[in-house]
């Protein structure tokens, strides 16, 4: 079964029509290859295929005779191709490239050095809420959006697939990036970090618990961020006369991976788990974040030491907007919401919850069911 990913397809198509090179990044098994094959490529190379790899013993000869759209999968295996691609797109106007890779930070650095002004980056994560049927939202929450996990025949097979995915990520993918950390060490660290999902990161506390330095904690988290496993949400702070929280929050990008680290296999186990609230809030935040189409560095949270906060804050069209996420039956107006409205000069605040009814609780505050979130945010 192939799930149509219309939003992602349209965004990539837009970049292909504008840039000479489009980089499709994302975690392993997020569907990059499946989506790329939907574009009518004149030439397709997979650098994990020995036959294709053999052609790149002389890459200039191989690529120099190509015209039209050229797709190169697993490009991170040969970053030395980037200077050659720059030369080719500058000298052969008929060439356009779609390059696919699983590592983000290093791949962006390597490619941007050679392809500045010629390349656009697009990150493909798991399925969006808008990709699935309305009655599949709880399945997306439990299993996460990685296609093989979401589409598994049952919860047991989905859970087993994710266990294998984590093992392969730690034992093969991390060493392939040149990172020399024992798999078991990183897994124990990853498991410990899972308890910070939806919370502010205390690097010193994690370091003491794990017996490592703060700098090592930051390095390990950077690895997980750079491989699309977790995201850090930075605090928004300006000089508004309040004592503001300035530590970042941490979220797992895929709730299925998060649940696997907590040994949550079924919906029943999820509803009994102490992390139920933070799991749902992280899932809802990801749904909204991907619907507003903001990069990681364009969204924030806001919190004061006195307890006022909003979970997600962003700017759009010169105005300020925010979301709160409440795993409750009927969210009501709070002092924290009123404080956020005035302190952040919000145009509107949405309170997203798992119910089914949309309603107003203030002139600028609307309670919104998660199921009603659409692909194009209604400002």
d(Cα 178, Cα 66) in Å, to the nearest integer?
Answer: 31
pLDDT of 284: 97
pLDDT of 180: 81
Each residue's pLDDT tens digit, 294-320? 888 899 999 887 778 899 999 999 999
Mean pLDDT of the chain: 91
SS3 137: helix
Which residues in the chain are classed under CATH 3.40.50.300?
6-123
Two tokens, residue 290: 């991907």
- Does 226 have pLDDT greater than 80? yes
pLDDT of 247: 85
pLDDT of 239: 56
Contact predicate 265/159, CB 8 Å: yes
- Does 345 have pLDDT greater than 90? yes
| Confidence band for 244, pLDDT divided at 50, 70 and 90 | low
Query: H or E segment at 98?
Result: strand 95-101
Q: What is the DSSP string of 161-222?
A: HHHHHHHHIIIIIHHHTT----HHHHHHHHHHHGGGBTEE--HHHHHHHHT--HHHHHHHHH
- Does 45 have pLDDT greater than 70? yes
More confident residue, 16 or 3: 16
pLDDT of 243: 60
Each residue's pLDDT tens digit, 136-191? 999 999 999 999 999 999 999 999 999 999 999 998 888 877 778 888 888 888 99
* Residue count of the chain: 379
Q: What is the DSSP string of 239-299?
A: SSSS-B--SPEEEES-HHHHHHHTT--SHHHHHHSTTHHHHHHHHHHHHHHHHHT--GGGE
Each residue's pLDDT tens digit, 202-211? 889 988 988 8
pLDDT of 223: 87
Percent of the chain exceeding pLDDT 70 equals 95
pLDDT of 240: 56
Average pLDDT over residues 45-60: 93
pLDDT of 182: 86
Two tokens, residue 16: 């292909």
More confident residue, 108 or 285: 285
CATH class of 6-123: alpha beta
More confident residue, 4 or 246: 4
- Does 241 have pLDDT greater than 60? no
Average pLDDT over residues 119-130: 93
| Of 125-134, 231-240, 264-273, 301-310, the least confident | 231-240
Average pLDDT over residues 91-119: 82
């Amino acid at each position: 079964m192939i799930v149509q990913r219309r939003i992602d397809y349209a965004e990539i198509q837009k970049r292909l029509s504008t840039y000479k090179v489009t980089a499709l990044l994302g975690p392993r098994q997020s569907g990059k290859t499946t989506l790329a094959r939907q574009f009518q490529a004149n030439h397709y190379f997979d650098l994990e295929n020995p036959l294709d790899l053999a052609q790149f013993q002389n890459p200039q000869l191989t690529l120099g005779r190509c015209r039209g759209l050229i797709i190169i999968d697993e490009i991170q295996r040969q970053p030395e191709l980037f200077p050659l691609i720059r030369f080719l797109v500058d000298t052969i106007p008929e060439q356009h490239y779609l390059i696919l890779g699983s590592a983000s930070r290093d791949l962006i650095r390597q490619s941007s050095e050679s392809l500045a002004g010629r390349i656009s980056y697009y990150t493909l994560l798991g399925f969006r809420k808008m990709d699935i049927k309305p009655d599949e939202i709880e399945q997306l929450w439990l299993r996460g959006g990685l296609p093989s996990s979401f589409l598994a025949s049952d919860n047991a097979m989905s859970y087993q697939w994710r266990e294998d995915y984590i093992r392969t990520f730690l034992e093969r993918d991390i060493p392939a990036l040149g990172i020399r950390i024992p798999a078991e060490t990183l897994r124990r660290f990853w498991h410990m970090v899972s308890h910070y999902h939806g919370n502010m990161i205390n690097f010193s506390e994690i370091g003491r618990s794990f017996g490592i330095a703060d700098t090592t904690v930051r390095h390990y988290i950077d690895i997980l961020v750079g491989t699309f496993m977790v995201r850090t949400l930075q605090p928004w702070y300006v000089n508004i006369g309040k004592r503001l929280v300035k530590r970042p929050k941490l979220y797992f990008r895929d709730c299925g991976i998060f649940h696997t680290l907590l040994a949550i296999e079924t919906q029943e186990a999820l509803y009994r788990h102490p992390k139920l609230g933070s799991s749902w809030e992280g899932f809802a935040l990801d749904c909204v974040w991907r619907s507003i189409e903001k990069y990681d560095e364009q969204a924030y949270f806001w919190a004061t030491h006195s307890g006022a906060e909003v979970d997600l804050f962003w700017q759009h069209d010169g105005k300020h907007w925010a979301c709160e996420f409440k795993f409750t039956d009927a969210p009501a107006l709070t002092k924290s919401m009123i404080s956020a409205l005035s302190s952040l000069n919000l145009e509107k605040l949405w309170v997203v919850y798992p119910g089914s009814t949309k309603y107003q609780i203030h002139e600028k505050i609307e309670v919104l069911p998660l199921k009603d979130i659409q692909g194009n945010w209604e400002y």
